Amino acid sequence: MMYFCIMDSTRQLKIGRLLQKDIGEILQREPSFCGGALITVTKVNVTSDLSLARVNLSIFATQDKSAVLKIVESHSQEIRHKLGQRIRHQVRIIPELQFFIDDTLDQMERIDELLKQ
């Protein structure tokens, strides 16, 4: 039996960290993109051709996380434009952005509550 481990290249990891930092700063500086919620960029996965970035967001200070995600998605092109202004000298193509809710912290909270019972 052969097992293949698909790992990101060093370049993908570097671009992912760069995007994570810059998208996080863009969301902090533009509160209208966040719909009044506190958003943290937890991870960015970049495809091997660097054309698509999957951005995981941790959303706090709101009850309706999916509504906040829709607000962020509606500003996707503006976020990508601001990102392009920041990283245009480091990459040839500014990746398309896909946003997802990262609920690992919520899961950890639930597990903690269950363990306390």
Tens digit of pLDDT per residue, the chain (117 long)?
Answer: 444 445 678 889 999 999 999 999 999 999 888 888 899 999 999 999 999 999 999 988 888 889 999 999 999 999 999 999 999 999 999 999 999 998 877 777 788 888 888
In a domain, 36, yes or no: yes
In a domain, 2, yes or no: no
Query: What is residue 107's DSSP assignment?
Result: H
In a domain, 4, yes or no: no
Query: What is residue 34's DSSP assignment?
Result: T
In a domain, 5, yes or no: no
Q: Which range marks the domain in which residue 43 is found?
A: 10-116
In a domain, 1, yes or no: no
In a domain, 3, yes or no: no
Predicted TM-score (pTM) of this structure:
0.83
Give, in degrees to the nearest 5, the angle at Cα 53 between 49 and 54.
130
CATH number (domain holding residue 41): 3.30.300.20
In a domain, 60, yes or no: yes
Phi, psi of 43 (to 5 degrees): -160, 150
Phi, psi of 9 (to 5 degrees): -75, 165
